[in-house]
Amino acid sequence: MSHTLSQLLSFIEENDTKFIRLAFCDIFGVQKNIAIMASQLPHAVEKGVSFDASAIPGFANVAESDLFLVPDLDTFSLLPWRPSESCVGRFFCNIRYPDGRPFEGDGRYLLQQMEQKAAQAGYRFLLGPECEFYLFETDERGRPTLTPFDEAGYFDVAPMDRGENVRREICLTMEEMGIQPERSHHEQGPGQNEIDFRCASPLQAADDLMTMHAVVKAVAAQNGLFASFLPKPLPSKSGSGLHLNLSILKDGKNLFEHFAEHPDPTAASFLAGVMRRMPEITAFADPLPGSYRRLGCFEAPGVVSWSSQNRSSLIRVPAAQGADCRMELRSPDPACNSYYVTALLLAAGFEGVQEKLPLPEPSNYDVYAHGRERGLTPLPSSLGQAVELAQKSAFLRSVIPEKILENYLQHKQREARAYTDSEKPYDYELRQYFSRV
């Protein structure tokens, strides 16, 4: 829904909103924000709010440190977990240079460009994320522990599933913020949960995913818990994935409809394009050293494949009808920058469509057990290997500006080396990432 500034100012005054948070995402997928007084919103919309970009890893250096946050008026929401008096509102922002140019490291801008390109070609996309996370107990000082909130398993019910009420609060809070949850349940790991919400345009879905992260963290904390989106917080248990469901619409028709019986050529080439580029995209889709302990087990793919319903495949086209027809990508994890990953997926798919890339035969067998012996292309087995593939990728350089790509890959290369050089890699990862992902 589009909002004008005057409408928003009236709403803000009527709801006693005193503070506005201007939120954005760094290149590594970490949400940042600055709070301004509500009275400063007109100035923020007209002029932007400056910040020190050199203090945001990967953004800029000290010699060119000024960037500006410009609120996207269509993303306003009150934060339900903040006090009902002197409320707090939030906007997602576009990032600009002092002269008004878009900042090339802004993932929202990159995704906006890809959506515009799709629209010009007559296509529209819908993105539906399925996000998994763990709930852990906290100690007497409120610090996170590695003790799961429960010992329940897949689709279990209360009282075994102790996360039921927490998920309920999360879903209701998301609804208050304009996001429509569709399904929630306990996942396979102890204390592991999943919440899926209604599909939307890629940009809105990526914004919604950032909102969901904030909601999950806030509601967990209100319940004396710690929520972790780390891809593999418990070594011998299921990792947390971020399954991305993509639908392609052309002239109002969902091109993935009846895909198993009569694959649409455009949808088939799009899927083939994504498959071809996933090894290169993996440095973005699976951004942490521990991401690679998740891939290849517990229903997380380790090789490039597709099938109609096989959950061991990288991509599956689930049994569905009408608007629910889609392809489901199963390798990303929730620590990624979903703006970058989605933009890369759209670019890879479009490349496949332009080249009329043929779709390989489906892998209708246990890919975990037989994928490599049947010659399927493996996904990178470590962050270091993923970075090496990305550094050689002309495709990535065609989508992500050179300076931003180099900043990202250099940072990830350092993370990969530090992880492999540590005496206890798992302990190192917990120290580095557990409390912030």
Q: What is the pLDDT of residues 104-139, one digit of tens each?
A: 999 999 999 999 999 999 999 999 999 999 999 999
Look at strands 315-316 and 123-138 and give their pairing: unpaired
Q: Cβ atoms within 10 A of the Cβ of 115, count?
A: 19
Rounded (10°) CA dihedral 253, 259, 265, 266: 50
- Answer yes or no: do 130 and 98 share one domain: no
Tell me, yes or no, whether 343 lies in a domain. yes
75, 103, 131 - which closes a domain: 103
- Answer yes or no: do 25 and 158 share one domain: no
Going by pLDDT thresholds of 50, 70 and 90, the confidence category of residue 321 is confident
What range does the domain containing 211 cover? 113-434
**CATH number of the domain enclosing 17:** 3.10.20.70
Predicted local distance difference test score (pLDDT) of residue 371: 67
56, 81, 103 - which closes a domain: 103
- Candidate from 195-209, 247-261, 294-308, 362-376 with smallest mean pLDDT: 362-376
- Answer yes or no: do 391 and 348 share one domain: yes
8-state DSSP, 102:
B
72, 103, 134 - which closes a domain: 103
Predicted local distance difference test score (pLDDT) of residue 63: 52
Per-residue pLDDT for 175 more than 80? yes
Average pLDDT, the chain: 94
**CATH number of the domain enclosing 231:** 3.30.590.10
Domain count, the chain: 2
Of residues 339, 344, 202, 351, the one with CA closest to residue 281: 344
Tell me, yes or no, whether 108 lies in a domain. no
Q: Cβ atoms within 10 A of the Cβ of 186, count?
A: 25
- Answer yes or no: do 408 and 266 share one domain: yes
- Answer yes or no: do 283 and 428 share one domain: yes
- Answer yes or no: do 259 and 373 share one domain: yes
Of residues 324, 361, 408, the one with CA closest to residue 58: 408
Predicted local distance difference test score (pLDDT) of residue 31: 95
- Answer yes or no: do 99 and 124 share one domain: no
Predicted local distance difference test score (pLDDT) of residue 297: 85
